[in-house]
Amino acid sequence: MIDDPLPKNWRGLQTGVQQIFRNVGLLADVEVDLGTPRGSVNVDVHAIDVRSVDKIRYIVECKNWGSAVPQSVVHSFTTVMHETGANIGFIISKRGLQQGAKRYTQNTNIVGMTYLEFQQRYFEAWWKRYFCPRIGDAADNPLRYTEEFNSVRDSAYEKLSAQDQEKFDRLRQENGGSLMILSMFN
């Protein structure tokens, strides 16, 4: 799990979806006005995969309701999808979709899911593109002090007092292996 699967309010849900999209490398914004043939429409989350050849566009409707989303919401969302030219649409809610809404989305480019299911869908990409690089980068800096051969560290070590050298040696022994493993995440 990446985030709390039950955000406190609809803003928390929107922000969570935006953050996950950004963490996996998409451009994402909340509360975006998009042009349609009949004017403009405001969408909860708009994301673009700039690394894809076709710049795949996602539109997300966030519903932090206590009940499942009805088919009428999916019908309205279908119109928004069509008129904005989005490639993929998500309706992310606290309780998922009602059965009629689920049936309606079959064979469409609209996917209804809970926030937890959304997180599970993007977990592998989040792990590889966001989490592992961050852990690896965080470990790289202290790793410089624990790696086996480092002349800069060795000359600084020689300037330490005997007591500080002892502390350094203890810390290096306790944490060197962990830092090496964490740096491999990168």
DSSP string computed for the chain: --S-SS-SSHHHHHHHHHHHHHHTT-EEEEEEEEEETTEEEEEEEEEEETTSTT-EEEEEEEE--SSPBPHHHHHHHHHHHHHHT-SEEEEEESS-B-HHHHHHHTTSSEEEEEHHHHHHHHHHHHIIIIIHHHHHHHHHHHHHHHSS--HHHHHHHHTS-HHHHHHHHHHHHHHHHHHHHHHTT-
Mean pLDDT of 48-57: 96
Where exactly are the structural domains of the chain?
A: 10-124, 130-183
State the pLDDT confidence band at 1, using cuts at 50, 70 and 90: low
Q: Is the pTM of this model over 0.75?
A: yes
Q: Does domain 10-124 have CATH number 3.40.1350.10?
A: yes
Mean of pLDDT values over 124-128: 93
Task: Give 60-111 pLDDT, tens digit per residue.
Answer: 999 999 999 999 999 999 999 999 999 999 999 999 999 999 999 999 999 9
